[in-house]
Amino acid sequence: MRGDYLNWPRLVEDALSKWGSVSVEGPFENIVVSGMGGSGIVGDVVKLLALERLSVPVEVVKSHIVPSYVSTRTLFVSVSYSGNTHETLLATARALEKGARVVAVTSGGLLERLAVERGLPVFKTPAGLLPRVSFPHMLTGVLGVLDSSGLTVASRAEVEEAKRQLEREAGEIAGEASSLAEFAYSRELLVVATHSPLEPLAVRAKSEFNENSKIVVKVDVAPEWMHNDIVGYEKPLFDEYRVVAFYDPDDQAGRGLVEFMVGEHERRGRRVRVLALRGANKVGKVLYAAMLFGLASVELALKRGLDPAATESIARYKSAAGRIFGTGPLKP
């Protein structure tokens, strides 16, 4: 899987070649991005990027349930790499019942079939990848759809610069990832710490270590951390943990918050690794962090003698999802 992550610049380039090919006519009162797992993180990042740029709210749905306010004035972006994600298909069907304007982002499956049958716009992603590896293509695709629909959260020029950054720094990022995997290779709980609004990147890191490395990870986000979690570290029943903390160097308050967190952990004798995000813009910082944690999680899996691609327990859940949701098994 190392090669899949290092291939990200080409995935971004392919998605950029389709920039503007899919658009939806507004106006819109809100945006809802639906997706699970490796597809769901796309919505989290879109919400992060939209925070200071859009005047309409962005909601992320990681469930089969959609918000009650979804209406004909909603742009509903349905993201499912496989196209067969139970929760996303159910949420999409409910959004259509409410009259939402739906865009599908998928490599195929039932979501593509639904889109074709209903005449919905589709942004196609390349087949044959793991959903978590296809992240930069799906993200670039959604950013292009939003930009072309008059809802710009990142420009094409910003994405192009982020791609060039990955091309320039891929080797260096791989080296950093190897060092990070060595740090994380421990029987101690791994804690990923950051500051708002970077929580999606911490969640992405957690998910990569979950799926690729097969370990449990805790996420701490400041300043909320200072109002609850911090006390839990005072006299825990279990205190064998180490911390990977990262911050945006262009966010002075964010850096200060992370420095405070690091100080609290170090005064308790815990090992801490601190990272500063790199990138000329927010898209670049997002892709830098995602590639770094993705590669590190693969390296950690290999150190443990595990297959980073295998996700046996997820497969068990998917086989049970039809019974749980009362839909029966999916039939692509």
Please identify every residue annotated as catalytic. 211, 227, 318
Mention every residue, 6+ apart, whose C-beta is less than 8 A from residue 255. Answer: 195, 247, 248, 249
Element of type H or E holding 284: helix 282-303
In the chain, how many H helices and how many E strands?
12, 9
- Cα separation, 212 vs 306, in Å, equals 8
- CA dihedral (7, 9, 12, 16) in degrees, to 10, reads -130
- Cα separation, 111 vs 81, in Å, equals 9
| Structural Rg of the chain based on CA atoms | 20
120 is written with which tokens? 């919905």
How many of the other CB atoms lie within 10 Å of CB of 287? 25
Which residues, in sequence order, are bridge partners of residue 215? none
Residue 125: C-alpha distances to residues 132, 135, 140, 159, 280 (Å): 13, 10, 10, 17, 26
- Cα separation, 247 vs 195, in Å, equals 7
User: Which is nearest to 39 in space by CA: 107, 138, 152?
Assistant: 138
CA-angle at 123, arms to 10 and 113, nearest 5°: 130
Q: Extract the runs of DSSP E, i.e. beta strands, from the chain.
A: 30-34, 58-61, 74-80, 101-106, 122-124, 189-195, 217-222, 241-247, 272-276
